Amino acid sequence: MAKHNIGSLVVLKPGDQQYIAGIVTERDYMKKIIGAGRSSKLTKVREVMTDENKLVTVSSGTNIIKAMQLMSENHIRHVPVIDGLISMVDVVRAIVDHQNGELKRLNQFIKGDYY
């Protein structure tokens, strides 16, 4: 995770089917390995990951506001998407892009350039 500058990894079940087994995050690492004084080399991912029974997921059709609401309600920063992963950075970027578009439209309206 550090090598690729990412904050989480989706863990898949073994086999041909790509079923999600869970997610391991940098928070999991900090709390369950470093905070607990465990060895990274001796600890299995399954011992520290959030398993599928507790996992919060969304579909690719879920809107950003709903994804952000789920993150906030569950105090998490990463939500696996059935065909990807959305992070808080992605959510903030989408909101900023939307707000920039709104500001541009308002400026055009104020200047009379909206025709």
Query: Is the pTM higher than 0.75?
Result: no
pLDDT at 36 over 90: yes
Q: Which amino acid is at 102?
A: E
Q: Which fold has domain 56-115?
A: CBS-domain (3.10.580)
pLDDT tens for residues 48-68? 999 999 999 998 889 989 999
Residue intervals of the chain classified under CATH 3.10.580.10 are 1-55, 56-115
Cα 79–81–84 angle (5° rounding)?
110
pLDDT at 69 over 90: yes
pLDDT at 73 over 90: yes
pLDDT mean over 33-57: 94
Asked if CATH classification 3.10.580.10 holds for the domain at 1-55, the reply, yes or no, is: yes
Tokens representing 38 are 């465990």
Q: What is the pLDDT of residue 85?
A: 66
Q: Residue 21 in 3-state DSSP? A: strand
